[in-house]
Amino acid sequence: MTADKACPVVLRSRNGADQILAFRHPSAGVQLVKGTIEPGETPQAAAVRELSEEAGINSAHSVRNLGLWDSGYQAQIWSFHEVSVVGGLPEAWSHYTADGGGHVFQFFWHSLDSEPSPEWHSVFVSALGFIRARRSQLA
């Protein structure tokens, strides 16, 4: 399998619960940051770049490859990378991205122990399941 999409996984622990960074897309539900791997770009570099473009986070680096996943969505193969952010992040924020003609994404933290709400895009619900399983295998 060769990845065509990169997904940076930003995690934190609060009150004994692991949380993952997510965002509300104005027209496509709740999602994780994900984007296309450009020609000549490594999946790790793409994950860090996508985090900068979609979330405005410019102080990140890839710390662990979480593996490849066949999303079953538009024949996309995703490469997941746990990413560390220098300095910490707020509880919530908004970021304007020029992707898709321009959107404001609203970022927040989702507990990995919680079931996703119905507003989550279905492919990202499946992606959360993959991330949970991989983290258990790598622990």
Q: Which residues contact 17 (CB under 8 A, 6 or more apart)?
A: 111, 112, 113
Q: Which residues of 33-42 are buried (b: 16+ CB within 10 A; e: fewer)?
A: bbbebeeeee
What is the bridge-based pairing of β-strands 29-31 and 17-25?
antiparallel
Q: Residue 109's domain spans which residues?
A: 5-138
Total number of domains constituting the chain:
1
pLDDT in tens, the chain (139 residues): 899 999 999 999 998 899 999 999 999 999 999 999 999 999 999 999 999 999 999 999 999 999 999 999 999 999 999 999 999 899 999 999 987 789 999 999 999 999 999 999 999 999 999 999 998 888 7
pLDDT value at residue 36: 97
Q: pTM for the whole thing? A: 0.95
**Any idea what the CATH number is for the domain that residue 70 is in?**
3.90.79.10
